[in-house]
């Protein structure tokens, strides 16, 4: 079975703490995602996401605080705007936008974190490997997945 | 302190955490595999890294192998990051050279497959090594502390907190939105379980607060906004116009005598009336009149203007304007209290349509000597002394389906008190209490409940009332006694509902401004429910009283004192350490486009128009990194979380 | 205007006064009521337990027929039919298991096309897209109470009406309620719009005894009596309702209530549509007032109002 | 009155079946009794609605079988509407009636209708009562 590689960027205050709660609650889930802790989801630059795809990620996950709960006032709204824009760019680049997922997961939502990780892994598994590095860009600069 | 191309010497320490990690992850293998990883000088595993010998091992190795960075692969950084940073500091290592690889909460506890968990652990550790390679030594940014506190709320909690902070020698501003301090407690008749008069114990405290040289009282005022950070907040306070000069007012009451406008009296829960110009209650603090402009007939002579004419002290000023007052404070105590759940929500109990169905605070006013009936128990509809009174507990509480899921905690006790005080005043009356459970956890609480049943023969029926309606001049109560299995109908003269406590009006909006999170019920969320019960996650904000959830007076006062102690601990320091993981500007790369300025929620970044570069106020920068992600030139780089570090970490995770 | 209308079986037999007055009133509101082709009984009671799926077949079949006939809404006056149709429709929307099972069952159903008269089978799934409305909701949301008020031809202010909701229009709240179950106002608003004097009374949402009047007839006297008595004590001179079963318990059975409660000397009960039709100027003969056990005719002061009708017309 | 409380396999099976059929969990009930205070038929009942739920919680199926309450419920949902947990007690009664049918319990049949009522009853009443109480 195809085991997708998933790069996860989690904000320190909510989703990272939610992932810790999944641990303390001993909730089992698929190990495909590996977390990178950032202070706020708004630290994530589209180039980080592109870089992850380039380095072999089949999916990228970003976790932030619920709207209104951002530790830095409204960082999560900035993330939302960036991700929405980046998804349209992904389409233009020939990448399936489903390979990028943004989710609000609070420190109390260990269960939601686990469900999201399982779901996302399944989604990426169904989409199959990306292998971006092996793909050649077409003349228009578009990569056809 | 760039390492000038010098190769880093990194130590990796893999913790077994007993079997917590080692039971799943092959820790020896992880340590072994890391040995050859670029930058790693030393790698080992140990049974309990956080134990005394474990920490000693780290300390010794730093010295022995001249390590300039260490990775502890163990539990979540929220638990022991500080522990290992302190240990490293003892060995002379900068704490920002310590990284935690979370292989317990985010690996061994969630992935039982040994091989998969081990592979994942290796990748996690490698990514932290990559981060460490580029970590710089950072020194905390020192900031001064403004040793003045703001207390929001002038109820018993806020007053206590203010007194306790002021007594430690610090200045305090108390902001209260009503015309007088006193909160809900000043409306109570007597308090359980001692039955001492609420006003008698609270008014001295109110007076003490006004006389305290360190306390500045701002009533009829509201907090508009708070900016800044712990130790250095800027507060904007809106002072509503009272139209009466507090200092000139002689309390002669002539203005109220001539005022033609009559409106329901809030202090008496609308059971009596006041004038448009009024003093909320005789012991109000500050002792002054307030003109309620919304009810005023009009200040122009052709409309009315009678109060101004009659005021010899010339205290009335119709031109008074709303003022915005700015203050600087170092800490904030939030004591915004509670409200009673709206009776309108209980349609089955008549909503607010039946005059003789009262909520708990209304009945307090009827029992109170300073209330509308002077303490005589009379029902509102016709002034008759009610001979059969039904008390209903859990009105709106413990009802997740329709109202509030929580227990309002104080109702069992105050219902027992209500029934008891009613019997003290109407000896031949019947008091019937419908309850689901009687919860009397508290010093002398159960004894008090027993007094109600033993000495006053109050009938407690176990069951929740389903409906109240009016028939003639009686209130018909449909209840049940589940102990005998009978549906019970009672003809009552008056009904008292122990209405649920709920979040105070306007609290969610205010908390949004203060960045204090609230829970699903609107109660303020503490930083930790057990260990940090009076702190907010937002540093510099302390929480106390019923704003956190239902509680009685002693508990609220205890929290107030606890919050005051926390403020004192903060103010005992002359300087606070601000995290140095900020986002400075690499001036050579900065084009001065100003995109990052709009990204910053703290106003930490400004464009120097002359030099065409961004300047960063390092004290204001909280290090969220939103600007770094937005900077098109890569000139904004977060210290120890640079783009280059993230790229290396991503690579290690995906290819490691 | 043309709208689908599901009368239900009782309206064609025992409750013709509800049916006739509804048709009379709706004609005066220029609304053409269309009955879905080949409708059957809705089943009267919605199955409350998961295994009794067969109870969902008739209502869903009726709703699907409405959809096949390109109706987006179906209006009912009988409170029982309303509750069954609305709950069944909601189940099709919210419960995927029931949706699948009911649709599987109905896929092989045979139906005669209303226009081509061809036999059809293999239907597409019914997804709960038809909106089920009680006539009171229809009057409020589609006709508009303001508009309705402007069409009133008679003065009904002397009729002091106690609006009786009963159970089916209000509960279960999340599935059927046409208004807040404890403090509803839709019926009152309607009565105000047609010019009646509304009397508030605490028994407006208490049960009348329902179908127990068939299985245990003696038990339904008390609940029905309490409703009527409460309306009377609060100053009403008539109870208005929308359910043929409530009507049966509270009007048809009044002689038995009198036997048990000797002080009770009768109280008129009307369908809300009778008041509506009357307000809109309908002829008194069309209202079926002669069917009532407790004669409500004294309330319909024909002489006084006939002139008004002429003037207004 | 004395009872030896036993929650064994049979009792659990009964409780689980009621839960399955209603899609709810009877243990959510904390016995406030509001259903009974709301019930328009409480005066006729030998077991109040809250007691029916209690008996199910305790697995006492035998006590419920003979209770009049099962056929006194007119599904008016007054109990459910005011229940702080939103438990549908009418559905619980229906579930229990359903479970008793295979045991030969028939609560009502077409022959039970009183002849003088047969001609005056509205159609919906007959359908409803038959659907509710007949096998």
State the pLDDT confidence band at B30, using cuts at 50, 70 and 90.
very high
- Span B601-611, mean pLDDT? 90
Distance from CA of B537 to the nearest CA of A (A): 9
* Out of C45, C166, C181, closest to residue D132 by CB: C45
CA angle C90, C93, C97 (to 5 degrees): 105
- Answer yes or no: do B347 and C202 touch at CB < 8 A: no
Q: Which of D40, D81, D94 sits opposite C181 (nearest CB)?
A: D81
Nearest Cα to Cα of residue B492 among B589, B591, B390: B390
- State the CATH architecture for B595-639: 2-Layer Sandwich (3.30)
Confidence of residue B3 (pLDDT cuts 50, 70, 90): very low
Does A have 3 or more CB contacts under 8 Å with D?
no
CA distances from B639 to A100, B535, B603 (A): 27, 28, 19
- Cβ contacts of D24 within 8 Å, gap of 6 or more: D87, D88, D91, D92
**Where are the strands (E) in B61-189, listed by range?**
69-74, 98-102, 141-144, 148-152, 171-175
Cα angle: C19, vertex C21, C22; to 5 degrees: 65
Q: Which residues contact B628 (CB under 8 A, 6 or more apart)?
A: A43, A45, B583, B596, B636, B637, B638, B641, B643
Number of residues that make up chain B = 656
pLDDT(B503) > 80: yes
**Rounded Cα distance, C210 and D129, in Å:** 9
φ, ψ (nearest 5 deg) of residue B421: -65, -35
Contact D32 B394 (CB under 8 A): yes
pLDDT for res A68 = 74
CATH T-level assignment (fold) for domain B241-320: Alpha-Beta Plaits (3.30.70)
Interface test with D, best of B463, B477, B486 (most D CBs within 10 A): B463
Q: For B551-588, what is the HEC assignment?
A: CCHHHHHHHHHHHHHHHHHHHCCCEEEECCCCCCECCC
B60 touches chain C (CB under 8 A): no
> CB-based contact (8 Å) between B487 and chain C?
no
- B10-133: what fold? Rossmann fold (3.40.50)
Residue A13 structure tokens: 């205050």
Binary contact (D33, B464; C-beta < 8 A): yes
Which spans in B177-278 are helix H? Answer: 198-211, 254-258
Q: Choose the mutation target among B346, B348, B351 for the interface with C, i.e. most C CBs under 10 Å.
A: B348
Q: Which of B15, B82, B102 is CA-nearest to residue A8? A: B102
B194: tokens are: 């001692």
Q: What is the DSSP letter of B528?
A: B
Q: Do D51 and B480 touch (CB under 8 A)?
A: no
C202 touches chain B (CB under 8 A): yes
* Residues forming a β-bridge with B45: B14
Q: Which of C180, C230, C233 sits opposite B347 (nearest CB)?
A: C180
Contact B249, B319 (CB under 8 A): no
Chain C nearest-CA distance from B400, in A, is 14
Which among D40, D75, D88 has CB closest to C223? D40
Residue of D nearest to B396 (CA): D84
| Residue range B104-125: mean pLDDT, rounded | 97
Q: Using a threshold of 3 CB pairs under 8 A, tell whether chains A and C touch.
A: no
- On the 0-12 / 13-18 / 19+ scale of CB atoms within 10 A, B483 is exposed
D17 touches chain C (CB under 8 A): no
> What ipTM describes this predicted complex?
0.82
Query: For residues D122 and C10, is the Cβ–Cβ distance under 8 A?
Result: yes
Q: For residue C210, which residues of chain D lie inside 8 Å, CB to CB? A: 74-76, 128
Instruction: Say if residue B186's pLDDT is above 90.
Output: yes
pLDDT greater than 60 at residue B603: yes
Across the interface, whether the CB atoms of B647 and A51 are under 8 A apart is answered yes
Strands (E), B10-147: 10-15, 40-46, 69-74, 98-102, 141-144
- Residue % of chain B over a pLDDT of 90: 91
Model confidence at B11, in pLDDT bands (50, 70, 90)?
very high
User: What pLDDT, on the 0 to 100 scale, is given for residue A138?
Assistant: 52
Rounded Cα gap, residues C56 and C88, in angstroms:
6
Q: How is residue D105 annotated by DSSP? A: -
Residues with Cβ within 8 Å of B537's Cβ and at least 6 positions away in sequence, in order, are A13, A71, B516, B517, B525, B527
Q: Omega of the bond prior to A60 within 30 degrees of 0, cis?
A: no
| Neighbouring residues of B609: CB distance < 8 A, sequence distance ≥ 6 | none
Domains B148-240+324-337+504-571 and B340-502 share a fold: yes
- Model pLDDT, residue D117: 87
Whole-number Å distance between alpha carbons of B15 and B50: 8
pLDDT value at D109 more than 50: yes
CATH number of the domain at B340-502, out of 3.30.230.10, 3.40.50.2000, 3.20.20.70, 3.50.50.60? 3.50.50.60
What whole-number distance in Å separates Cα of residue B174 and Cα of residue B151? 5
Query: What does the alpha-carbon distance between residue C190 and residue D12 come to, in Å, rounded to a whole number?
Result: 51
Subunits close to D (at least 3 CB pairs below 8 A): B, C
Q: Give the residue from chain B lying closest to A48, CA to CA.
A: B647
* CA distance to partner chain B, nearest, from residue D110 (Å): 32
Q: Which residues of A2-20 are buried (b: 16+ CB within 10 A; e: fewer)?
A: eebbbbbbbbbbbbbbbbb
Neighbours of C187 (CB within 10 A): 23
Angle separating helix axes C79-94 and D123-133, nearest 10 degrees: 50
**Measured between CB atoms, does D41 come within 8 Å of chain C?**
yes
* Contact call for residues B458 and D52 (beta carbons, < 8 A): no
Q: Do C219 and D44 touch (CB under 8 A)?
A: yes
Bridge partners, residue B461, by sequence: B434
> Which H, E and C letters describe B404-470, residue by residue?
CCCCCCCHHHHHHHHHHHHHHHCCCCEEEEEECCCCCCCCCHHHHHHHHHHCCCCEEEECCCCEEEE
**Cβ-defined contact of B469 to C182 (cutoff 8 Å):** no
* SS3 assignment, position C131: strand
Determine the distance in angstroms separating the CA of C206 from the nearest CA of chain B, rounded to an integer: 11
Interface contacts (C, D; CB < 8 Å):
137
The tokens describing B508, both together, are 């969610």
Whether residue B127 and residue A82 make contact (CB cut-off 8 A), yes or no, is no
- Dihedral (CA of C87, C92, C98, C104) sign: positive
Nearest beta carbon to residue A42 from set B112, B625, B655: B625
Q: With a cut of 60, say whether residue D63 has pLDDT above it.
A: yes
Task: Say yes or no for a CB contact (<8 Å) between A31 and B76.
Answer: no
User: Which chain B positions have a beta carbon within 8 Å of A19's beta carbon?
Assistant: 105-106
Q: Check the CA dihedral B475-B476-B478-B479 and report its sign.
A: positive
Q: 0.90 exceeded by the pTM?
A: no
Peptide bond into B286 cis (omega under 30): yes
**Structural domains of chain C, with CATH:** 2-132 (1.20.1050.140), 153-300 (3.40.50.11810)
Average pLDDT, chain B: 95
Cβ contact (<8 Å) for B469 and C202? Answer: yes
pLDDT of A140 over the 80 cut: no
Of B625, B640, B534, B532, whose CA–CA distance to B85 is shortest?
B640
Partner-chain residue, chosen from C207, C216, C247, that has the shortest CB–CB distance to D78: C207
Residue ranges per structural domain of chain B: 10-133, 148-240+324-337+504-571, 241-320, 340-502, 595-639
Distance from CA of C312 to the nearest CA of D (A): 38
What single DSSP character describes residue B343? G
Contact at CB, B463 and D42, closer than 8 angstroms = no
Given pLDDT bands bounded at 50, 70 and 90, which one contains residue A139?
very low
Number of H helices, E strands in chain A: 4, 4
Reported CATH class of domain B148-240+324-337+504-571: alpha beta
Residue B478 at interface with chain C, using a CB cutoff of 8 Å:
no
Select the more confidently predicted residue: B530 or B424: B424
Give residue-wise pLDDT tens across range B220-239. 999 999 988 889 999 999 99
D95-124 residues touching C, CB cutoff 8 A: 95, 98, 108, 112-114, 117, 120-124
Instruction: Test B470 with C202 for CB contact under 8 angstroms.
Output: yes
d(CA C8, CA C39): 8
Contact call for B348 and C233, based on CB within 8 A: no
Residues written for chain A:
145
Chains in contact with chain A (at least 3 beta-carbon pairs closer than 8 A): B
Residue range D25-47, pLDDT digits in tens: 999 999 999 999 999 999 999 99
Predicted confidence band of residue A70 (pLDDT cuts 50, 70, 90): confident
User: For B236-266, how does the pLDDT look when each residue is reduced to its tens digit (9 = 90+)?
Assistant: 999 999 999 999 999 999 999 999 999 999 9
Q: Which tens digits make up the pLDDT trace of B464-491? A: 999 999 999 999 999 999 999 999 999 9
Q: Does B469 touch chain C (CB under 8 A)?
A: yes
Residue A135 has pLDDT above 70, yes or no: no
Residue B107 with chain A: CB contacts under 8 Å: 31
Contacts of A17 in chain B (CB under 8 A): 78
Chains within contact range of chain B (3+ C-beta pairs < 8 Å)? A, C, D
Relative to beta strand A59-64, strand A100-104 is: parallel
Q: What residue ranges define each of the domains in chain A, with the CATH number in brackets?
A: 6-144 (3.40.50)
- Assign A136 a pLDDT band (cuts: 50, 70, 90): low
Q: What is the mean pLDDT of each run of 10 residues along chain C (313 residues)?
A: 95 95 96 93 92 91 92 96 96 93 88 76 87 97 96 94 96 93 96 97 95 91 96 96 96 95 95 97 93 93 52 38
Residue C295 half-sphere exposure toward CB, CA atoms < 13 A: 4
Whether D131 has its CB under 8 Å from any CB of chain C: the answer is yes
Chain B nearest-CA residue for C184: B347
DSSP secondary structure letter of residue B339: E
d(CA C127, CA A120): 29
Contact C14 D122 (CB under 8 A): yes
């Amino acid at each position: 079975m195809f085991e997708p590689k998933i790069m996860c960027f989690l904000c320190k205050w909510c989703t990272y703490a939610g992932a810790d709660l999944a641990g303390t609650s001993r909730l089992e889930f698929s190990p495909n995602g590996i977390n990178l802790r950032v202070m706020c989801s708004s630290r994530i630059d589209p180039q980080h996401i592109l870089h992850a795809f380039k380095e072999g990620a089949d999916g990228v996950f970003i976790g932030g605080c619920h709207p209104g709960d951002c530790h830095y006032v409204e960082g999560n709204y900035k993330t939302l705007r960036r991700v929405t824009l980046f998804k349209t760019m992904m389409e233009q680049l020939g990448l399936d936008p489903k390979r990028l997922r943004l989710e609000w997961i609070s420190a109390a939502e260990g269960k939601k974190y686990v469900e999201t990780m399982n779901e996302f892994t399944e989604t990426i598994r169904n989409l199959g490997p990306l292998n971006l590095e092996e793909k050649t860009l077409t003349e228009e600069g578009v990569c056809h997945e | 302190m760039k390492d000038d191309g010098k190769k880093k010497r990194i130590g990796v320490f893999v913790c077994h955490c007993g079997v917590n990690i080692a039971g799943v992850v092959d820790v020896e293998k992880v340590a072994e595999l890391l040995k050859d990883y670029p930058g790693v000088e030393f790698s080992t595993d140990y049974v309990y890294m956080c134990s005394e010998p474990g920490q000693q091992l780290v300390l010794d190795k730093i010295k022995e192998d001249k390590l300039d960075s260490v990775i502890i692969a163990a539990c979540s950084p929220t638990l022991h990051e500080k522990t290992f940073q302190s240990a490293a500091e003892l060995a002379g290592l900068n704490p920002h050279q310590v990284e935690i690889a979370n292989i317990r909460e985010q690996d061994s506890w969630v992935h039982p497959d040994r091989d998969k968990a081990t592979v994942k652990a290796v990748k996690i550790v490698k990514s932290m090594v990559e981060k460490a390679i580029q970590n710089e030594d950072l020194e905390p940014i020192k900031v001064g502390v403004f040793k003045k506190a703001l207390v929001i709320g002038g109820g018993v909690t806020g007053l206590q907190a203010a007194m306790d902070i002021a007594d430690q020698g610090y200045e305090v501003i108390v902001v209260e939105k009503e015309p007088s301090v006193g909160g809900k407690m000043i409306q109570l008749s007597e308090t359980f379980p001692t039955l001492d008069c609420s006003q008698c114990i609270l008014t001295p405290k109110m007076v003490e607060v006004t006389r305290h040289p360190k306390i500045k009282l701002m009533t009829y005022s509201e907090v508009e906004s708070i900016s800044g950070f712990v130790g250095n907040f800027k507060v904007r306070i809106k002072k509503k116009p009272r139209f009466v000069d507090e200092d000139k007012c002689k309390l002669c009451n002539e203005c109220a005598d001539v005022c033609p406008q009559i409106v329901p009296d809030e202090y008496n829960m609308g059971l009596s009336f006041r004038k448009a110009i009024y003093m909320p209650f005789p012991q109000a603090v500050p002792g002054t009149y307030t003109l309620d402009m919304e009810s005023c007939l009009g200040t122009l002579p052709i409309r009315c203007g009678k109060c101004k004419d009659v005021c010899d002290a010339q205290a009335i000023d119709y031109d008074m304007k709303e003022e915005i007052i700015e203050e600087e404070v170092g800490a904030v105590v939030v004591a915004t209290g509670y409200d009673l759940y709206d009776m309108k929500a209980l349609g089955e109990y008549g909503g607010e349509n039946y005059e003789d169905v009262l909520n708990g605070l209304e009945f307090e006013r009827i029992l109170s000597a300073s209330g509308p009936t002077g303490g005589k128990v009379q029902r509102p509809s016709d002034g008759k002394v009610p001979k059969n009174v039904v008390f209903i507990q859990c009105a709106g509480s413990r009802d997740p389906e329709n109202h509030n899921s929580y227990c309002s905690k104080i109702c069992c006790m105050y219902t027992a008190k209500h029934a008891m005080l009613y019997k003290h005043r109407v000896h031949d009356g019947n008091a019937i209490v419908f309850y689901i459970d009687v919860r009397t956890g508290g010093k002398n609480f159960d004894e008090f409940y027993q007094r109600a049943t033993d000495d006053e023969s109050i009938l407690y029926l176990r069951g929740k009332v389903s409906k109240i309606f009016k028939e003639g001049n009686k209130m018909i109560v449909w209840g049940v006694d589940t102990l005998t299995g009978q549906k019970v109908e009672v003809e009552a003269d008056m009904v008292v509902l122990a209405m649920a406590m709920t979040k105070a009006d306007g609290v969610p909006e205010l908390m949004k401004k203060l960045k204090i999170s609230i829970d699903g019920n609107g109660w303020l969320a503490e930083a930790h429910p057990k260990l940090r019960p009076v702190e907010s996650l937002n540093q510099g904000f302390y929480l106390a009283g019923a704003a956190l959830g239902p509680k009685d007076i002693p508990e609220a006062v205890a929290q107030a004192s606890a919050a005051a102690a926390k403020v004192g601990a903060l103010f005992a320091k002359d300087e606070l350490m601000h995290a140095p993981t900020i986002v400075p500007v690499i001036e050579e790369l900065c084009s001065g486009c100003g995109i990052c300025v709009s990204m910053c929620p703290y106003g930490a970044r400004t464009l120097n128009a002359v030099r065409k570069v961004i300047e960063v106020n390092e004290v204001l920068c909280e290090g969220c990194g939103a600007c770094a992600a937005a900077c098109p030139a890569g000139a904004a780089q977060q210290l120890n979380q640079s783009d280059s570090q993230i790229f290396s970490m991503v690579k290690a995770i995906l290819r490691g | 205007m043309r709208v689908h209308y599901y009368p239900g079986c009782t309206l064609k037999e025992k409750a013709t006064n509800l049916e006739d007055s509804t048709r009379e009133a709706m004609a005066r509101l220029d609304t053409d009521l269309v009955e879905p082709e080949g409708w059957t009984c809705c089943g009267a009671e919605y199955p409350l337990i998961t295994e009794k799926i067969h109870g969902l077949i008739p209502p869903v079949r009726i709703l699907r027929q409405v959809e096949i006939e390109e109706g987006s809404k179906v209006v009912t006056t009988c409170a029982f039919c309303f509750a069954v149709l609305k709950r069944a429709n909601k189940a099709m929307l919210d419960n995927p298991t029931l949706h699948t099972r009911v649709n599987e069952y109905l896929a092989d159903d045979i139906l005669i096309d209303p226009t081509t008269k061809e036999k059809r089978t293999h239907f597409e799934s019914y997804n709960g897209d038809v909106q089920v409305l009680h006539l009171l909701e229809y009057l409020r949301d589609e006709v508009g109470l303001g508009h309705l008020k402007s069409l009133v031809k008679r003065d009904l202010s002397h009729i002091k009406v106690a609006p009786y909701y009963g159970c089916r229009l209000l509960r279960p709240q999340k599935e059927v309620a046409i208004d807040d179950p404890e403090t509803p106002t839709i019926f009152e608003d309607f009565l105000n719009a047609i010019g009646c004097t509304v009397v508030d009374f605490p028994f407006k949402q208490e049960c009348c005894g329902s179908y127990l009047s068939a299985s245990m007839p003696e038990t339904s006297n008390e609940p029905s009596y309490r409703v009527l008595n409460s309306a009377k004590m609060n100053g009403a001179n008539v109870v208005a309702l929308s359910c043929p079963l409530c009507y049966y318990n509270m009007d048809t059975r009044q002689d038995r209530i009198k036997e048990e409660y000797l002080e009770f000397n009768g109280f008129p009960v009307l369908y809300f549509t009778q008041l509506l039709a009357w307000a809109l100027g309908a002829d008194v003969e069309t209202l079926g007032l002669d069917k009532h056990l407790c004669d409500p005719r004294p309330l319909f002061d024909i002489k006084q109002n006939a002139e008004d009708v002429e003037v207004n017309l | 009155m004395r009872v030896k409380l036993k929650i064994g396999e049979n009792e659990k099976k009964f409780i689980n079946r009621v839960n399955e059929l209603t899609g709810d969990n009877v243990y959510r009930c904390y016995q406030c009794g509001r259903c009974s205070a709301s019930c328009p038929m409480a005066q006729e009942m030998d077991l109040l609605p809250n007691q029916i739920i209690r008996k199910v919680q305790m697995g006492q199926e035998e006590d419920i079988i003979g209770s009049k309450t099962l056929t006194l419920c007119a599904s008016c949902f007054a109990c459910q509407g005011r229940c702080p947990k939103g438990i549908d007690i009418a559905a619980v009664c229906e579930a229990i009636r359903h479970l008793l049918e295979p045991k030969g319990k028939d609560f009502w049949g077409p022959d039970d209708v009183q002849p003088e009522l047969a001609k005056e009853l509205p159609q919906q009443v007959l359908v409803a009562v038959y659907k509710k109480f007949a096998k």
